[in-house]
Structure 1
Amino acid sequence: MKASDTSAAAPAVLRRRPILVTGGAGFIGSNLADNFATEGHDVLIYDALARPGVERNLEWLKKRHPSRISSVIGDIRDETSVAEAARDAQAVFHMAAQVAVTTSLTDPRADFEINIRGTLNVLDALRQRGDRVPLIFASTNKVYGDLADVELEKTNDAYKPRSPAVRDAGIGESRPLDFHTPYGCSKGAADQYVLDYARSFGIPTCVMRMSCIYGQRQMGTEDQGWVAHFLIRALQGEPITIYGDGCQVRDVLDVSDAVAAYASAWKRSDAVQGRAFNLGGGTANAISLRQLITHIEDVIGRPVETIYADWRAGDQRYYVSDTRLATRELGLKQPISWLKGVAALAAWLQNESGLARSNSLPSSLQNAEALS
């Protein structure tokens, strides 16, 4: 795909050494871009706009920051255009990716090209520059595999580890890597490339192995972004399909807390060079799918219909991040409570989607968006 600049401000921005955000029109990328532009940085977004709805995020960013946001519509697999976008960047946040396990199973070659070759394109663009440009990479908890060896017990509506250490703290960075599904392989390989470019070439890279991030500007689907997807279906009065028994547990983190972690990794790039951190809400924000649905029913004030289907490949029964290392090394604050954050996302989604009044939130939660 041939890259093209869509902003008249781009040449000026490029001269000012912008922060490059690949996948910057996506959910986390757009929140990162907004944060940095608000702080007074120039931001160059590199995005193929392949995910439905992300063009609205780009329009929103340009309206909010007309003199700070520039964009290149391009494919991360295009080595030449990636190198051009990275030419003058002062820092790179590499968020562009194929993000769904299901898609990787139907088209593993594209998954490989985007997640591995695309990441190598970004890394090598920085290597060939010959200077120390920080790169922060969005990895995933899927690098740890399905965690089938973690012994679990089912208590009411959630799985819990039998091991007190795992139950109290979660899964730590010392956990052996174990790639499952093409998506796990591609993101895991990219994860390791990013860490090795710090070892081999001295590039100040850092890896964030994310659990479930949710929040404003997330247009979740059944394949990725489950918290927002559940809310969207519920607000539209449509059934939610649960794959498995619904007792699988994840720790969830509001995107504002994720952005703070990424920003801190950049500011501390020398100290965290070549290191990987598990990033999530931790044990205090660990919930099962069933528990989220119960809370959604409380938020919207009506029952939610659920449909059950077979487990999907590579799905972890239990994953909760041990956040102690990231909290200590990145200086992170206490994350937003999932109860508060989900209510805020529900209010934002209702306002964003323009749902009919009959599907509106209870009046007590109309201003929940402001809580975040």
Structure 2
Amino acid sequence: MNGRDAIDSAAASRRRALNGGGRATLITGGAGFVGANLAHRLLSEGQRVLVFDNLSRPGVERNLAWLQQTHPHGLDVMVADVRDADAVERAVARADHVFHFAAQVAVTTSLDDPREDFAVNALGTLNVLEAARAQPVPPSLVMTSTNKVYGGLDDVALELDGQRYGPADADIAAHGIAETRPLDFHSPYGCSKGTADQYVRDYARSYGLRTVVFRMSCIYGWRQFGTEDQGWVAHFLLRALAGEPITLFGDGRQVRDILFVDDLVDAFLRARRGIDALAGRVFNIGGGPGNVVSLLELIDMIGALEGHRPETAHEGWRTGDQRYYVSDTRAFQAATGWRPAVDARQGVERLHGWLREMRAQPVPQAALRQPASRRPTLAVTGR
């Protein structure tokens, strides 16, 4: 055992001694699409997981029921809200690592109610950080931020290339948008997530917490029940499977790099393993230049899978909608060796098949029940 391993082992032993052993990985927003996939991976590896979620987003009850059925041991659930500082502190006190995903996730919702958006994203994140800082040995933390912290990228000159926009700058075209890009919060959602992003980064500098921020592009995959406002790849597929028209905001040539959720979970686990070396850093995470798709190109992919092109309608551009965003993931690749393994076409095919299967299955009764109260409730489902 080398010196670094000895220090890490001693720290882990001290955490167990201080907290009575049996530490869990806490996932806030753990019943959501990303959280459920990460929880499933950890539980499959025999790790303890505490899912913390207020179950407010449609579809998450279904994910939680699936986790409880699939993993009768090792999973604990706390039905609570990150705006409840006391509940957050009780959850964090049980954790040796925190994945902080709980958030208000839609630009449109933030425009309708910026105060609630701020309370969930900014204040909720501060609650998690303060709870971590209060522990005798603070848990490490990985937080999911967003590419919206870079604003509309209006100064990035674009060229039209068939059904997609592309940057005129050769370096951006080859690699995407890097973490050195100046922050330019746009929309209340961009402001609240950007605030949280900077707090998480600064708590590593100011208080020595071991934190990492992922500024994420478009994530898609299993357990995603997308809506018009968030989760557009799954939303397009669900509309097509239901034979319903798909609304494109703008001209449909907007470009994103899409990342399959299995690859994102791999990135999370690499960040956790390397947290001591990565603490205080921010990384752009997405499919990168090799997994770029425009809205119109996704429509064509779905048409090939369904045997006919879905009907589409157009509406005006939405606030904060970037015409081009592709993640430059070289910094995280250099730090950890990670890179995406699932290409865009393969991933869309997988999600299409899974959603088709889900449409044919009855929704479990447990997934149809709303919690009786939003007061913090601990449902212990495994020991």
SS at match of 1:316: coil
CA distance in 1, matches of 2:348, 2:69: 26
2:186 partner letter: H
Which aligned pairs between 1:322-341 and structure 2 lie closer than 5 A? Answer: 322-341=328-347
Give structure 2 stretches of 5+ with no counterpart.
1-18, 363-383
Aligned counterpart, 1:157: 163
Aligned counterpart, 2:268: 262
CA distance in 2, matches of 1:150, 1:130: 46
Aligned counterpart, 2:67: 61
- Counterpart contact for 2:140–2:210, Cα < 8 Å: yes
CA distance in 2, matches of 1:14, 1:162: 57
CA distance in 1, matches of 2:20, 2:82: 18
Aligned counterpart, 2:115: 109
SS at match of 1:353: helix
Which stretches of structure 1, 4 residues or more, deviate above 3 A after TM superposition?
A: none
Question: Bigger relative contact order, structure 1 or 2, given CA contacts below 8 A and separation 6+?
Answer: 2
SS at match of 1:93: strand
Over residues 178-214 of structure 1, what are the superposed CA-to-partner deviations in whole Å (9 max), with x where a residue is unaligned? 0000000000000000000000110000000000000
1:346 aligned onto 2:358: no
TM-score (ref. length: structure 1): 0.91
CA distance in 2, matches of 1:157, 1:303: 15
CA distance in 1, matches of 2:222, 2:154: 33
Distance 1:14 1:42, change over 3 A: farther
Report how far residue 140 of structure 1 moved: 0.4
Which aligned pairs between 1:140-289 and structure 2 lie closer than 5 A? Answer: 140-289=146-295
Equivalent residue for 1:307, pick from 304, 307, 313: 313
SS at match of 1:90: strand
- Counterpart contact for 1:243–1:309, Cα < 8 Å: yes
Equivalent residue for 1:131, pick from 137, 146, 157: 137
CA distance in 1, matches of 2:107, 2:217: 14
2:251 partner letter: D
Equivalent residue for 2:31, pick from 11, 25, 33: 25
CA distance in 2, matches of 1:152, 1:128: 47
Aligned counterpart, 1:80: 86
Over residues 30-57 of structure 1, what are the superposed CA-to-partner deviations in whole Å (9 max), with x where a residue is unaligned? 0010111111110000000000110111
CA distance in 2, matches of 1:251, 1:126: 33
Distance 1:350 1:327, change over 3 A: same
Over residues 267-323 of structure 1, what are the superposed CA-to-partner deviations in whole Å (9 max), with x where a residue is unaligned? 000010000000000001011000011001001111210000000000000000001
1:352 partner letter: M
SS at match of 1:129: coil
Report how far residue 14 of structure 1 moved: 9.1
TM-score (ref. length: structure 2): 0.88
CA distance in 2, matches of 1:339, 1:196: 38
- Counterpart contact for 1:281–1:335, Cα < 8 Å: no
Report how far residue 330 of structure 1 moved: 2.3
CA distance in 2, matches of 1:163, 1:335: 27
Q: Report the count of equivalent residues.
A: 344
- Counterpart contact for 1:213–1:254, Cα < 8 Å: yes
SS at match of 1:131: coil
Give structure 1 stretches of 5+ with no counterpart.
1-12, 357-372
SS at match of 1:77: coil
